[in-house]
Amino acid sequence: MISHRHQCIFIHIPKCAGTSIETALGHFNGHKGREGQDHRSIRMLQQPLPLSKAVRNMENLKDVLRRVRDRYRNPANPNNALTVDPNQYQEYFKFTLVRNPWARAYSWYKNAMRDPIHQRSYGIDPDLAFSAFLHRFAGRGFLRPQTYWLKDFSGNIPMDYVGRFETLQDDFMVIAGKLGLPPSILPHRIRGENSDYRQAYCDRTIELVARHYQEEIQLFGYQFE
């Protein structure tokens, strides 16, 4: 999401408490539900667009095409169509939140299992086993690696601050300080079940997640714990 008021760019990775951040920054402006959220990757916002690098691999090219497509769309939340110019892109405070990938995958599974809209859109049964869910969706769609949202067209991560779901309130205080916001308790808009994700895994699914999300595990120092 882009906030010109707060002069920031927040990269909202799904299932990393981003809805709470967007709420705190006034992104929704009366718009409710998943269509109000802004899940654009940094490549969708990067300025100027480096064409020579933007077409050097398939992932970059897909986001270039998404940028073109989005010019002709009218999102439910107009804030999801905000853009920045090159100077704003350089100067705005860029930040994100990341999460333990084993916990994030299980959280997405629990969300899908209680949401008929997700079940219809993904073509899954409400009693689908977690292991089957992982084999089908790990590394895809909203369960793409978190680095998908964070890498620019050069493959760098241009974030000024990377907070963590696990230390959400403390990290929000840092973010608020950077943005000149008064200290406050972060609103928790979407509450998942407080199930211990570790109980849902077996050795094979632990390894499956480790394989799909190896880069972010190494980059952010996460472990299955």
* Structure confidence by residue, pLDDT tens digits, 93-111: 999 999 999 999 999 999 9
Average pLDDT (11-39) is 87
In this predicted structure, the answer to whether residue 154 has a pLDDT above a threshold of 60 is yes
For residue range 187-205, what is the model confidence (pLDDT) as tens digits? Answer: 665 555 456 899 999 999 9
**pLDDT value of residue 195:** 65
For residue 201, tell me if it sits in a domain: yes
Examine residue 48 and say whether the peptide bond preceding it is cis (omega within 30 degrees of 0): yes
Q: Burial of 210 by CB count in 10 Å (0-12 exposed, 13-18 middle, 19+ buried)?
A: middle
Average pLDDT (119-138) is 92
Average pLDDT (5-22) is 96
Q: Higher model confidence: residue 137 or residue 195?
A: 137
Confidence of residue 223 (pLDDT cuts 50, 70, 90): very high
What is the CATH number for 145?
A: 3.40.50
- d(C-alpha 187, C-alpha 204), whole Å: 36
Q: Burial of 87 by CB count in 10 Å (0-12 exposed, 13-18 middle, 19+ buried)?
A: exposed
Average pLDDT (148-172) is 97
Average pLDDT (116-128) is 87
> Which of 105, 101, 82, 96 is closest to 149 using CA atoms?
96
In this predicted structure, the answer to whether residue 121 has a pLDDT above a threshold of 60 is yes
Average pLDDT (149-169) is 97
**pLDDT value of residue 54:** 84
Confidence of residue 186 (pLDDT cuts 50, 70, 90): confident
**pLDDT value of residue 33:** 64
For residue 170, tell me if it sits in a domain: yes
**pLDDT value of residue 222:** 98
Confidence of residue 159 (pLDDT cuts 50, 70, 90): very high
Domain range enclosing 18: 2-220
- d(C-alpha 58, C-alpha 61), whole Å: 5
Considering its fold, how many domains does the chain have in total? 1
For residue 225, tell me if it sits in a domain: no
**pLDDT value of residue 36:** 85
Q: Higher model confidence: residue 203 or residue 74?
A: 203
Average pLDDT (141-149) is 96
> Which of 45, 51, 67, 4 is closest to 159 using CA atoms?
45
